[in-house]
Structure 1
Amino acid sequence: MDWDLLGLTFIAVFLSELGDKSQVAAIALSGSSKSPQAVFFGTAGALVLASFLGVLAGDAVAELLPTQILKGLAALGFAFIALRLLWQDDR
């Protein structure tokens, strides 16, 4: 097992999940629930399943498309998002 990759993945997911809406929902559920352990295992299981499905989908796409095309599509996607953010109408 690649321990460096495992650690990097853990840190990336941990930091990206801090303070998102699922964490706020888990806090609200655990505060109003009589079983905070069930809330913990439910939210942890959901995160693991969502990550697992993302890895499977990413692996399937990587098998179908060459790496250069994937990188190009990702770059175009990020550029599109950046341009929309720059020129969005602030209402």
Structure 2
Amino acid sequence: MAKPKKAEQATTVVYCGPSIPGVAKQYTAYTNGIPTALAEAIVKQPAMEGLVVPLEQLPEAMKNLRSGTGHISRLYRLVQVKH
């Protein structure tokens, strides 16, 4: 009996980092991957990868950014300083 194939699901992620012209705007949602400019920026500054979160985690990420606490907030400040 053949194994059933996994259904490919469209995954939506949101960039929660600071807006960077030509790369990404804060709270932009992407479905089925991120744009090339953002992928290249992540290679140059790996901390940015932690600022791309699944849509389901967006409310918690926004809460952390507003309060200035948590991992997302720390990564945001790190990326903000470098841009």
Indicate the TM-score class for this superposition, using the shorter chain for normalisation: under 0.3
Q: TM-score, normalised by structure 2?
A: 0.26
Structure whose residues are more often strand by fraction: 2
- Which is helix-richer, 1 or 2? 1
- Answer with 1 or 2: which has the greater Rg: 1
Q: TM-score, normalised by structure 1?
A: 0.24
Q: Which has the higher contact order (CA 8 A, sep 6+)?
A: 2
